[in-house]
Amino acid sequence: MVSLTEVPTPVTPEAIFYFIPNLIGYGRVITLILSFFTMAHHPLITMGFLYSASCLLDAFDGYYARKFNQSTQFGAVLDMVTDRCSTCSLIVFLGVLYPDYFIAWQALISLDLASHYVHMYAQIVSGSTSHKKMREGANWLLKLYYENRVFLFLVCALNETFYIALYLHHFDFLYVPGTSVSLAYWLTLLCSPVWFFKQICNVIQLVNACQMLAQLDAQNMNAARKAN
């Protein structure tokens, strides 16, 4: 017979908001918003502390979610939405710094938002427990991207570093000794292959998710016709 003291306390909806990974997520949101106010005139404060802190905290919420068994759907959505908001916000500001490439910035934001939203929606309606859990037969590149945590972290980190370096390059940040080229410029070149790879993954992700939705639609329509 189990004593009353051994019965686990029920989790309330309100308690979800105070889970450790979600508190980390709020910290990401706060530092991201603060970076909006410093981005135009204080690149060192922005990228040395605020925006970078928001990005770095992303490495800890998932760890603590697994460590304390606090993985939640709310946390997954908070994490993805914050990721998309941070990247797109920086790209918007790059559009201010490099206005000649405004079409490219618009295309990048559109691809980023569309690919992740459609992917998450397709995963949900297909019954997946997580947008990072790929179904059998999924594209091998997406399986590598989402199911290998180290690989996922490195790709996302270097993708963000590419945009951060472009931002810092505008401010002629940290010149390489003995040269007329900024360190940010070389960092942009170094990260560009990974950035390009990330955009390819976004395209594959979008196409794969659309195919999943089309398959589900076909199955549902065929099932409905058989029922009639």
CA distance 191 to 54: 20
State how far the Cα of 42 lies from the Cα of 50, in Å rounded to an integer.
11
Q: How far apart are CA 182 and CA 98, in angstroms?
A: 17
Write the CA distances from 217 to 7, 102, 118, 134, 137, integer angstroms.
43, 36, 14, 19, 18
d(CA 55, CA 72): 20
Active-site positions read 83
Smallest CA-to-CA distance from 186 within 170, 156, 165 is with 165
For residue 79, the number of C-alpha atoms closer than 13 Å in the C-beta half-sphere is 24
Reduced to 3 states (helix: H, G, I; strand: E, B; else coil), residue 53 is helix
Handedness of CA 198, 204, 210, 213 (dihedral sign): negative
